[in-house]
Structure 1
Amino acid sequence: MKYQRFVALGDSCAEGLDDLLPDGRYRGWADRVASVLDAPGFRYANLAVRGRRLDQMLVEQVPSASVLEPDLVAVFCGGNDVMSGASGPEIARRVDAAVRAVTSFAPTVAVFTLSDISHRMPFGWRLSPRIEALNDAVRTASARYGAVLVDVAADEAVHDSRYFGPDRLHLSSLGHRRLAGHLLTALELDFDPSWLAPLPGEAAPASLLDHWRWLRDQVLPVAYTRTRNKLIGRQPGDGFTPKRPQLAPLSLRPPVAG
């Protein structure tokens, strides 16, 4: 099957954070998939906005996507619901609502499980049950509504730090390339097999100084920003807009954000 109208929905990972191009734009797995699908007549939109939870996507991104009449939608979401402390039943309800809504208008919908990154996060033991609940909900919803399941939860690459950016949460360029490979595999489309090839050697273990710098430069600033925004009623992602709000040829790049 050849897809002509591809729309990506989601959060910062779908936007492409930490897969930075030289011109200041973010690329990301969705752009990489679009590059494989690219052909005469192909158009691509990316409605992802960093920080978005599933309930926000349902009222902001899903209606916009339906108007575009896509023949392929990829939905990468749930990480912010996990990080914000939503309960397992609430996460399941949100996943079901989102997948049900998108499959009601798109003939092919792809959904993703999340790798368990809790071992790299402070107080990560609190995240594992919510990640498991999210993945169970994604698997259930994909079966219930006929979505394509991209089940990357067991991917061993999660243990290789080279697949992640400085915050140890968002994917690096290598990680985005790998995620694109997983999606294209699930869609049974041909792509460069090196995207899923294991990296040579092993990542250098993090030193105590590395851990301190990560805590200082990544964890504490995020914690401070989240606390401040909560006090003033600001939502994550406020002020940001979708990177590609309309279907357009891949060669038509949006302006640099900010």
Structure 2
Amino acid sequence: MSGFGTTDIIDRDILSYVALGDSFTEGMSDPYPDSDTVPNGRYRGWADRVAEHLASHIGEVRYANLAVRGRLIRQIRDEQVPAAVEMAPDLITLCAGGNDIIRPGGDPDEVVQIFESIVADLTATGARVVVFTGFDTGMHSVMRHLRGKIATYNMHMRAVADRYGCDVVDVWSMRIFDDPRAWSTDRLHLSTEGHRRLSLGVCEVLGVPAEGTWNEPWPPPEPRDWRTARQEDLSWAREYLVPWIGRRLTGRSSGDNVTAKRPTLRRCDPGSRTD
């Protein structure tokens, strides 16, 4: 079980927080305003934003983000989990398995076995562990066929969370993410606004006060004719889908030669850039 309850997280004088995962937790595609000046294109993302929200209510928040884009669940288990266990933080967020599930042949039953082994190691530290369901891909025409696999993984994962006393951020049920404006131009990663909303959803699960609500209705969308939509689809396929397929065929990853943006626990200040 977690080391502290849902009501006393902001009553602590010092809190250590470690985020584990892939590009979703690394923060793609939510750049800082000066991201062009940051080596390796560092991103902000929902986890950095959660750390900042925590720092607004806690005397000292020490934060590490070990997530690296493209990582498969075995890589997260082997590369990130031992480091997180050694840090012995108070709070851990874990989102893993998505890259495995969306690949051809990805088996949710096999992936969740590794997921459970990770959760067992993390909860054994006494940390409060927060996990995430997969998104509903029904609104993505190219990824709609994956809904069944993702739903199966979500059911298994929620059972694991129940067994080990983890909190769950159920992004599958957050219909606010059905809107294309929640996603970046690559249609695979959250937009800046998507990351902002997700950080508010995580704060809600943690019981951390934050300004704004994750499910605030979107403003009416700007009208688009079918020609514009078609051209956007073609541009997306050329710029993002074809390179993604190429990496799968050649065994390459977007995370090759990329390291964790925040590999050690360091102080995080409210509203500051954390990388």
**TM-score for the superposition, normalised by structure 1:** 0.90
Match of 2:203, SS? helix
Distance 1:66 1:140, change over 3 A: same
Moved more, 204-213 or 107-116: 204-213
Residue 264 of structure 2, aligned match among 242, 246, 250: 246
Alignment-mate amino acid for residue 154 of structure 1: S
Residue 130 of structure 2, aligned match among 100, 110, 128: 110
Q: Aligned residue pairs: how many?
A: 250
Alignment-mate amino acid for residue 209 of structure 1: Q
Distance 1:124 1:199 in 2: 23
Q: Specify the alignment match of 1:33 in structure 2.
A: 50
Distance 2:123 2:130 in 1: 9
Alignment of 1:182-197 (within 5 A): 182-197=201-216
Deviation of residue 40 (structure 1)? 3.1
Alignment of 1:123-162 (within 5 A): 124-125=144-145, 127-162=146-181
Match of 1:193, SS? coil
Moved more, 205-214 or 104-113: 205-214
Match of 1:247, SS? strand
Q: Specify the alignment match of 1:207 in structure 2.
A: 229
Give unmatched runs, 5+ long, in structure 1: none
Distance 1:197 1:190, change over 3 A: same
Deviation of residue 42 (structure 1)? 1.4
Alignment of 1:197-236 (within 5 A): 197-202=216-221, 204=223, 207-228=229-250, 230=251, 234-235=252-253
CA RMSD of aligned residues (A): 1.9
User: Structure 1 vs Structure 2: percent identity of aligned residues?
Assistant: 38
Distance 1:254 1:180 in 2: 15
1:92 aligns with 2:109: no
Q: Specify the alignment match of 2:190 in structure 1.
A: 171
Contact 1:8–1:75 (8 Å) recurs in 2: yes
**TM-score for the superposition, normalised by structure 2:** 0.85
Match of 1:242, SS? coil
Give unmatched runs, 5+ long, in structure 2: 1-7, 36-41
Distance 1:33 1:150 in 2: 13
Distance 2:216 2:242 in 1: 34
Distance 1:236 1:100, change over 3 A: farther
Contact 1:50–1:237 (8 Å) recurs in 2: yes
Match of 1:9, SS? strand
Deviation of residue 106 (structure 1)? 3.8
Deviation of residue 253 (structure 1)? 5.6
Match of 2:268, SS? coil
Match of 1:207, SS? helix
Deviation of residue 41 (structure 1)? 2.3
